[in-house]
Amino acid sequence: MKYLMLMWVENDAAGGTQEDIDAWAAFESEAKSANVLVMGSALQPAAKTSKLVSSAASNSRGSKEVSSGTFSYTKGQIEAFYILDCHDENHATTWAQKLPTWGVVEVRPFLEYDLSQ
């Protein structure tokens, strides 16, 4: 089952030291070797690049808003994400604990739909 690992931090975490970069590279190498890594990436700072766009469903009700900035209801923002293919929730949590992030990691399983009908 695929799990989304959302890494939340309180402040913009763009950049980092060589030690930070090495820690991320080591995590990715370990996840690749264990055949659990589907994909992952760091994100641009939310305050400078983020857009909140009304969905198609919202648009059908007359809303066509686009907003800029950070949008979480906390002081935090999403720093980066990974999608990992894990056996179960415990396996996903174990991998989340290995992430070299300074914040917290939200672990969420994907809903799987059969859209071929």
Query: Residues 61-114: pLDDT tens digits?
Result: 555 655 555 555 466 788 889 999 999 999 999 999 999 888 889 999 999 888
Provide the H-helix boundaries in the chain: 18-33, 46-49, 56-60, 89-98
Give the residue, 55 or 112, on which the prediction is more confident: 112
pTM of the predicted model as reported, rounded to 2 decimal places: 0.77
pLDDT value for 12: 63
Rounded to whole angstroms, the Cα distance separating 36 from 83 reads 8
